Structure 1
Amino acid sequence: MTEEIVFCKGGGCTAKLGPDLLSHVLGKIPRGEKDPDLLIGYDSRDDAAVYQITEDTAIVQTLDFFPPMLEDPYLFGQIAAANALSDIYAMGGTVKTALNILCFPEKMDLNILGKIMQGGAEKVIEAGGTLAGGHSIADADVKYGLSVMGIVNPKQIYANDKGRPSDVLIFTKKLGVGLVCNANRVGQAPKGAMEEAIASMTMLNKKAAEISHRYEIHACTDVTGFGFLGHLSEMINSSISAEIDSISIPVIKGAMHCAEEFLLTAAAQRNRNHVAERVTFSKYIPFAMEELLFDPQTSGGLLFAVQKEDAAAFEKELREAGMPAAIVGRFTEKKEKDIYVN
Structure 2
Amino acid sequence: MMELELPNEGGCTAKLPARELERLLAGMGWGSDPRVLVGLETGDDAGVYLLSEELGLVLTTDFFPPFCRDPFLYGEVAAVNALSDVYAMGGTPLAALNITMYPSGGDIAPLRTILEGGLAAARRAGIPIIGGHTIANDTPVYGMAVLGRVDPGRMCTNAGLRPGMSLVLTKPIGTGVAMAAERLGLCPPETYRVAVESMRQLNRAAATVAGELGAAACTDITGFSLLGHAHRMAAASRAGIHLRVADVPFIPGAADLARMGCVPGATFRNAEYLQGQWEAGAGLAVHLRHLLLDPQTSGGLLFAVEPEKATLAVARLRAEGYAFAGIVGHTVERQGLRVE
1:334 aligns with 2:304: no
Amino acid at match of 1:250: P
Cα separation, 2, equivalents of 1:109 and 1:22: 35
Cα separation, 1, equivalents of 2:226 and 2:33: 32
- By how many angstroms is 1:333 displaced? 1.5
Match runs of 1:49-198 below 5 Å = 49-198=47-196
Answer with 284-293 or 49-58: which moved more. 284-293
- By how many angstroms is 1:4 displaced? 4.6
Q: Secondary structure at 1:278's aligned position in 2? A: coil
> 1:212 matched to which residue of 2?
210
Cα separation, 2, equivalents of 1:318 and 1:259: 27
> 2:275 matched to which residue of 1?
276
Answer with 232-241 or 199-208: which moved more. 232-241
1:285 aligns with 2:284: yes
Contact 1:48 1:88 in 2 (8 A): yes
Contact 2:239 2:332 in 1 (8 A): yes
Answer with 241-250 or 101-110: which moved more. 101-110
Deviations 1:305-330 (A, max 9, x none): 11122111111111121102100000
Contact 1:104 1:141 in 2 (8 A): yes
Cα separation, 1, equivalents of 2:200 and 2:144: 15
- By how many angstroms is 1:9 displaced? 4.3
- By how many angstroms is 1:29 displaced? 2.2
- By how many angstroms is 1:109 displaced? 2.0
Q: Secondary structure at 1:97's aligned position in 2? A: strand
Q: Secondary structure at 2:13's aligned position in 1? A: helix
Q: Secondary structure at 2:240's aligned position in 1? A: strand
1:6 aligns with 2:5: yes
Q: Secondary structure at 1:236's aligned position in 2? A: helix
Instruction: Classify 1:217/1:240 alpha carbon distance in 2 versus 1 (closer, same or farther; 3 Å).
Output: same
Deviations 1:97-117 (A, max 9, x none): 100000011133222011100
1:319 aligns with 2:318: yes
- By how many angstroms is 1:5 displaced? 6.1
Amino acid at match of 1:286: A
- By how many angstroms is 1:285 displaced? 1.5
Deviations 1:71-126 (A, max 9, x none): 00000000000000000000000010100000011133222011100010111111
Cα separation, 2, equivalents of 1:265 and 1:7: 14
Q: Secondary structure at 1:251's aligned position in 2? A: coil
- Please give the TM-score of this superposition, normalised by the length of structure 2: 0.96
> 1:29 matched to which residue of 2?
28
Amino acid at match of 2:82: A
Cα separation, 1, equivalents of 2:52 and 2:61: 23
Instruction: Flag structure 2 segments of 5+ consecutive residues without an equivalent.
Output: none
Contact 1:9 1:69 in 2 (8 A): no
Cα separation, 2, equivalents of 1:287 and 1:78: 33
Identity of aligned residues (%): 39
- By how many angstroms is 1:219 displaced? 0.2
Cα separation, 2, equivalents of 1:171 and 1:108: 42
Contact 2:3 2:71 in 1 (8 A): no
- Please give the TM-score of this superposition, normalised by the length of structure 1: 0.96
Cα separation, 1, equivalents of 2:194 and 2:53: 43
- By how many angstroms is 1:265 displaced? 1.4
> 1:20 matched to which residue of 2?
19
- By how many angstroms is 1:216 displaced? 1.2
- By how many angstroms is 1:57 displaced? 0.1
> 1:245 matched to which residue of 2?
244
Q: CA RMSD in A?
A: 1.3
Contact 2:5 2:69 in 1 (8 A): no
Cα separation, 2, equivalents of 1:182 and 1:312: 33
Q: Secondary structure at 2:276's aligned position in 1? A: helix
Amino acid at match of 2:121: K
Instruction: Classify 1:251/1:108 alpha carbon distance in 2 versus 1 (closer, same or farther; 3 Å).
Output: farther
Contact 2:215 2:305 in 1 (8 A): yes
Instruction: Classify 1:7/1:263 alpha carbon distance in 2 versus 1 (closer, same or farther; 3 Å).
Output: closer
Contact 1:8 1:71 in 2 (8 A): no
Contact 2:73 2:114 in 1 (8 A): yes
1:262 aligns with 2:261: yes
Cα separation, 2, equivalents of 1:245 and 1:178: 21
Instruction: Flag structure 1 segments of 5+ consecutive residues without an equivalent.
Output: none
